[in-house]
A and B are shown apart, each in its own frame.
Chain A
Amino acid sequence: MSEGFLGTSAPLAPDVVLLLEVAMGVALLVGTWLARTKRFRPHAWCQSTIVLLNLVVVAVAMTPSFRAQVLASIPVKLSKSYYALATVHAAFGSIAELAALYILLAAGTRLLPEQLRITRYKAWMRSVVVLWWLVLFLGVATYVRWYVPNFRR
């Protein structure tokens, strides 16, 4: 198994995922700024790319890791901070990704039936950005708890 490159005890995959997620979090803010400056088409491309890229990262890296290292130990061992942190991160992360996909479908396509479409886009989008960043912080905390020896006690 390949070692990571961030100088912690993590393998390669969590290091790559951490950098990707931080980059996507920043890019999401750039996309928000694009909307505020009324450049809606680049905004739509930017946010859509992030949501879909994140979906790939979740499917390829995060879900297998969660299943291998955490899933078997919950709910019995949720009192242990490293399992609790990873589980809360996974739960809120799933909600954020699903909400983002919903906005993507509602705003960018005509796939959803009329009654499922949203009208208050701004409120939805801002809520998802806030939730996304909360999940990002939880993800960084999970990484630190699992892979950085000096921060674990």
Chain B
Amino acid sequence: MRRSVSVAVFITVEILVIAALSTGRQNAALAAQQKTEAAEVKIDNFSFGPATLTVSVGTTVTWTNRDDIPHTVTSADDPKAFKSKVLDTDEKFSFTFTQPGTYPYFCSIHPKMTAKVVVQ
């Protein structure tokens, strides 16, 4: 009888430990998924600033047009990884980088305006 109780207690404890570990892993995975960083690029005086932005995978980059002329944010890759509409003054465009790599981009209205995002 005593032995049966011991086995039952042991099994119960094991189940609780496994359940606790499993929940912890799930929470950690969920937290990792929800953890998104943010970065900003300012468009002003016919240039992107910073010209080279280094971010980690999952980061959302937001471009804000602070210039007094429209600009676009257009990927130089083929096919294009991202492409904004024409951004007026104070308008924003955001894109989340989910793959590592180097992403050159430019303004399609003023193609001399170039910059890149490095995703690590």
A contact residues vs B (CB 8 Å cutoff) = 1-3, 9-11, 68-69, 72-73, 77, 80, 82, 145-147, 149, 152-153
A146 cross-chain contacts in B, Cβ below 8 A: 69, 109
Q: Is the CB of B110 within 8 A of A9?
A: yes
B contact residues vs A (CB 8 Å cutoff) = 45-46, 68-70, 85-86, 88-89, 106, 108-113
Q: Is the CB of B108 within 8 A of A1?
A: yes
Beyond A1-B106, A69-B86, A149-B46, whether A82 also contacts B69 by CB under 8 A is: yes
Q: Is the CB of A149 within 8 A of B86?
A: no
B70 cross-chain contacts in A, Cβ below 8 A: 69, 73, 82
A2 cross-chain contacts in B, Cβ below 8 A: 111
Q: Is the CB of B69 within 8 A of A73?
A: no
B111 cross-chain contacts in A, Cβ below 8 A: 1-3, 11
Q: Which residue of B lies closest to A1 (CB)?
A: B111
Q: Is the CB of A9 within 8 A of B86?
A: no
| Complex CA–CA separation, A69 to B46 (angstroms) | 16
Give the Cβ gap from A39 to chain B, nearest Cβ, in Å.
43
Q: Which residue of A lies closest to B74 (CB)?
A: A1
Q: Is the CB of A9 within 8 A of B88?
A: no
Per DSSP, chain B at the interface is loop
Q: Which residue of B lies closest to A149 (CB)?
A: B46
| Complex CA–CA separation, A147 to B89 (angstroms) | 15
A153 cross-chain contacts in B, Cβ below 8 A: 68
A145 cross-chain contacts in B, Cβ below 8 A: 69
A82 cross-chain contacts in B, Cβ below 8 A: 69-70
With contacts A9-B112, A11-B109 known, what are 16 further pairs, Cβ within 8 A? A2-B111, A3-B111, A3-B112, A10-B110, A11-B111, A69-B86, A69-B109, A73-B88, A77-B88, A80-B89, A145-B69, A146-B69, A147-B110, A149-B46, A152-B68, A153-B68
**A–B pairs, 5, beta carbons within 8 Å:** A1-B106, A9-B112, A9-B113, A11-B111, A77-B88
| Complex CA–CA separation, A127 to B68 (angstroms) | 35
A73 cross-chain contacts in B, Cβ below 8 A: 70, 86, 88
Q: Is the CB of B86 within 8 A of A72?
A: yes
B69 cross-chain contacts in A, Cβ below 8 A: 82, 145-146, 152
